[in-house]
Structure 1
Amino acid sequence: MNTLPRYDLYAPIHKALRLFMTDTLSQLSRLDLTDEQDLATGLAQLEALLEAASRHLQHENDFIHPTLEIHQRGASGRIAMEHREHLDAIAMLRTQAAVLRAEPAAPTAHRLYRQLAAFVAENFEHMDVEETRHNQVLWAACGDDELAAIEGRILASIDADEMTLWLRWMLPAFNPTERAQLITGLPPEAREPVLLSARSLLGDTAWAKLRDALDLAEPL
């Protein structure tokens, strides 16, 4: 019986997305409405999250759902419908954020916080369905090389700014082994800037483990 882990299209990006969501929710929970910079920073992170979430679901619609449908008709139906609902929720959150930006008020801030909390909660359940039911279909029908090719097409569709954003959340979300695998899988010219980013994002212990895994003799 093969017990080796299968190629998982969902787990890495979902780790980053879960951290991005919970960190943003935490930011909104403690917004200081009397501090213009704090408000601007919190709302900017919210907008970055909403844009990333929108692009992420589009990548799944464009590159993963067609493969699911080829092998099991209707397999992507529930999640595709939820994606449409997520786009509506993203639009609502943007509208509420604009109201708060224009006229900071405690009730408006708390309403936005609760709305984001509900969005995050629904997304956590949504991602679990993808990581279980969708992966069951993909693993039964596709070899790991086929799944890697799908991921390659997704990555090819992502521009440099979006990739930088995802790396910013992947690095702290990953465990030490995953971080090392991520960096060794990058083109050589991309490794130094990603390592510099990792140094700024990781604590001393996590950074030391990454240096050891990559056999880096000197700190950056």
Structure 2
Amino acid sequence: MHTRYNIYAPIHKALRLFMTDTLQGLGRMDLDDAQDLADGLARLDALLDGASAHLRHENDFIHPAIEARSSGASGRVAAEHREHLDAIAALRAQAAALRALPEPAAAHRLYRQLAAFVAENFEHMDVEETRHNQALWAAYSDAELAAIEGRILASIGPQEMGQWLHWMLRAFSPAERAQLVGGLPPEARPPVLAQAQALLDDQDWAKLCRALAPVSSPAALAA
């Protein structure tokens, strides 16, 4: 059976890991260690920046594509996106309060608030991967969906791209990871392979090297 082009799956897999990793870090944060507090809140800042950018990409590229051929089909998710922006603003305010006064009650309040945000986003992403994908698949070919994704990627700057690659490389299965790296232009592979080698354990790195052997030479990086 032909598997349709899933514009949501890769970025959502990365985002789920980004969210859960940040949530766990926030729960373990040591308020008596200034560096640990600063690092934990910096991770939260990065997540909120990434989530905001992800919303913009979907609003600017995917929703207009859905609406162009199925008017009103993105309305529910668009409304939830507005709620997510409000939640992100509230999380930023709570984080600022914790920076100013690091006390346990404020830390736990921020942790619970982020947990609720993550939980809602998990349900939200499932709606996108089911209802929105059905609308996209009914209206667009795989080539057209790949072109939409290409426009999204072209709008992303190097710093943001590096962040998403970090989470994708960690979140993906070995086959997905090999497909990601193997699909890059040859000149773009070396920095991504270097990033992968730094992030992956020996077993996953070896699997990536074996998968890419016919098209690349990542083993040279392992020397």
Q: What's the TM-score bracket when you normalise by the shorter of the two chains?
A: over 0.9
Amino acid in the other structure paired with 1:101:
R
Q: What do residues 185-214 of structure 1 show as CA deviations (whole Å, max 9, x unaligned)?
A: 122222111111111111111111111101
Q: Distance in 1 between matches of 2:188 and 2:159?
A: 13
The alignment partner of 1:167 has SS state of: helix
1:167 corresponding residue in structure 2: 165
2:113 corresponding residue in structure 1: 115
2:203 corresponding residue in structure 1: 205
1:106 corresponding residue in structure 2: 104
Q: What do residues 63-98 of structure 1 show as CA deviations (whole Å, max 9, x unaligned)?
A: 000111111111000000000000000000000000
Q: After the TM superposition, which residues 1-220 of structure 1 pair with which residues of structure 2 at under 5 Å, given as runs? A: 3-215=1-213, 216=217, 217-218=219-220, 219=222
Q: Distance in 2 between matches of 1:195 and 1:67?
A: 33
Amino acid in the other structure paired with 1:43:
L
Tell me the TM-score normalised to structure 1 length.
0.97
Structure 2: state its 5+ residue gaps: none
The alignment partner of 2:76 has SS state of: helix
The alignment partner of 2:6 has SS state of: coil
Residue 57 of structure 1, CA deviation: 0.7
Structure 1: state its 5+ residue gaps: none
Aligned pairs, how many? 218
Tell me the TM-score normalised to structure 2 length.
0.96
Q: Distance in 1 between matches of 2:206 and 2:186?
A: 21
Identity %, equivalent residues: 71
